[in-house]
Amino acid sequence: MSSSTLAHMETNDLDAFFMPFTANRQFKKDPRLVVGAEGMYFRTPDGRQVIDASAGLWCVNAGHCHPKIVEAVQKQVAELDFGPTFQMGHPKAFELASRIGALAPGDLDTVFFANSGSEAVDTALKIAIAYHRARGDGQRYRLIGRERGYHGVGFGGTAVGGIKNNRKAWGHMLVGVDHIRHTHDLSQMAFSRGLPEWGAHLADDLERLCELHDPSTIAACIVEPVAGSTGVLPPPKGYLKRLREICDRHGILLIFDEVITGFGRTGTAFASETFGVVPDMMTLAKGMTNATVPSSAVVMRRGIYDAFMNGPEWMIDLAHGYTYSAHPLAVAAGLATMDVYQEEGLFQRAADLAPYFEDAIHSLKGLPNVIDIRNFGMMAAVEVSPREGAHPTARSYDLFLDCWQNGVYTRFAGETLAFSPPLIADRGHVDRIFETVAAALKRVA
């Protein structure tokens, strides 16, 4: 064993872990560590209880360490720790696929499992291109994303994503990608409650790209029903229906990235149900297993699956997959999570709490530096003005730290603080969260 390895073991100095999406040197000077969690709260090494206003990373919808989910995973690891799904299978994988398919809207009833939202997105993009090829429409290779969209960190997801800092190094490495404009316009939408009244026409930007590229070359368009990681951007009223109509007119597959919005975040099982718009595919992750074990999925319309079933029966239908697709522990966690959602009525609970949540966050209007508040379902964000001459995230980072130090964990992204508490939250939790945020806004210059 090397001397450096021994030093890390003896000192636990944090240097060995290259942390994702983190200012590593800044963090390691003053680390924010959690050692336990239960329900709505994290526990820190010094015993503090910190309310989780972000469901971890938009993912712990049923609350931390739910006993039923924990028990299911513990039982599964002693029964079947791993089973391959290449040319083999295990029963619970098919059960979870069936349950997700039954929950999904319309004829989205076929499920391909992966392990993260990023993998689900790359999978959906590959399926879209392969589907057109299987139908003899192989000239469709272009993929359309949206500015300010986030679709994970795979090469495909980074390419169709529209957050400029994520795209700088790798976003150009997938050819045939373009973006429709984003929907965020403060001059028209500031302090909207729920869906903005203005902006349905912004979907017509897809027609511009069809005219530019020729729609017969476009395979798919992918959007988040409600953009999450870029600061919670609810779509304008009618926007998604208009996008659906344009895709139908030109034979383009519409993919909804529901990695964040899936499993109750908008008050129904999926945002597509909330908005009454059925896409051709959905990408799911996060709340699918309550984040207990990493897992994700692509849910597709039956016709997409059927297009692959025309070759010889012995031939692999899609040359794609992951060693851990439908991992037994993830599937066990997923089945237990589906039970919890149903037995505890968490989707309806989210719908019932959403108006109170909306009123609470909009009570912050008028506090120092607040330039916008937006919300939909159990998702919301406060946007603050950047400090003059400072990095755009400086003020939001300081607000994040102030909230953490005062017992509330939230997310900051760009100039926003984003909120997505577990769906088990009650009014008392909501009050505590936004009272803490209000105090931080008054303290942080």
pLDDT digits (tens, 9 = 90+) for 30-85: 999 999 999 999 999 999 999 999 999 999 999 999 999 999 999 999 999 999 99
Does residue 218 sit in the same domain as residue 352?
Answer: no
Asked if residue 239 belongs to a domain, the reply is: yes
Q: Last residue of a domain, which of 343, 372, 407?
A: 343
335 lies in which domain range? 69-343
> In a 3-state reduction of DSSP, which class is residue 409?
strand
Q: Last residue of a domain, which of 343, 369, 400?
A: 343
Q: According to the model, what pLDDT value does residue 390 have?
A: 86
Q: Which pLDDT band, with edges at 50, 70 and 90, does 169 fall under?
A: confident
Does residue 292 sit in the same domain as residue 406?
Answer: no
Please provide the average confidence, as pLDDT, over all residues in the chain: 95
Where helices occur in 135-253 by DSSP H, the ranges are: 155-160, 164-167, 186-189, 205-213, 239-250
Q: According to the model, what pLDDT value does residue 12 have?
A: 63
Does residue 122 sit in the same domain as residue 197?
Answer: yes
Does residue 183 sit in the same domain as residue 263?
Answer: yes
pLDDT digits (tens, 9 = 90+) for 207-261: 999 999 999 999 999 999 999 999 999 999 999 999 999 999 999 999 999 999 9
Over residues 150-163, mean pLDDT: 95
CATH number assigned to the domain comprising residue 332: 3.40.640.10
Asked if residue 318 belongs to a domain, the reply is: yes
Does residue 159 sit in the same domain as residue 270?
Answer: yes
Q: Which pLDDT band, with edges at 50, 70 and 90, does 9 fall under?
A: very low
Asked if residue 4 belongs to a domain, the reply is: no
Domains of the chain: total: 2
Does residue 117 sit in the same domain as residue 189?
Answer: yes
Exposure string for 190-204, b = 16+ CB within 10 A, e = fewer: eebeebbeebbebbe
Does residue 122 sit in the same domain as residue 56?
Answer: no
CATH number assigned to the domain comprising residue 55: 3.90.1150.10
pLDDT digits (tens, 9 = 90+) for 375-406: 999 999 999 999 988 888 899 999 999 999 99
Over residues 167-195, mean pLDDT: 92
Exposure string for 403-433, b = 16+ CB within 10 A, e = fewer: bbeebbbbbbbbbbbbbbbbbbbeeebbebb
Does residue 404 sit in the same domain as residue 337?
Answer: no
Q: According to the model, what pLDDT value does residue 13 have?
A: 78
Q: According to the model, what pLDDT value does residue 3 have?
A: 52
Which residues, listed in sequence order, are joined to residue 381 by a DSSP beta bridge? Answer: 374, 418
Does residue 191 sit in the same domain as residue 212?
Answer: yes
Does residue 128 sit in the same domain as residue 160?
Answer: yes
Q: Which pLDDT band, with edges at 50, 70 and 90, does 6 fall under?
A: very low
- Tokens (6 digits) for 408: 């509330």
Asked if residue 3 belongs to a domain, the reply is: no
Of the chain, the percentage scoring pLDDT greater than 70 comes to 97
Q: Which pLDDT band, with edges at 50, 70 and 90, does 8 fall under?
A: very low
Q: Last residue of a domain, which of 343, 368, 401?
A: 343
- For residue 7, pLDDT over 90 is answered with no
- Of 194-198, 293-297, 311-315, the least confident: 311-315
Does residue 130 sit in the same domain as residue 28?
Answer: no
Phi then psi for residue 113, to 5 deg, are -90, 140
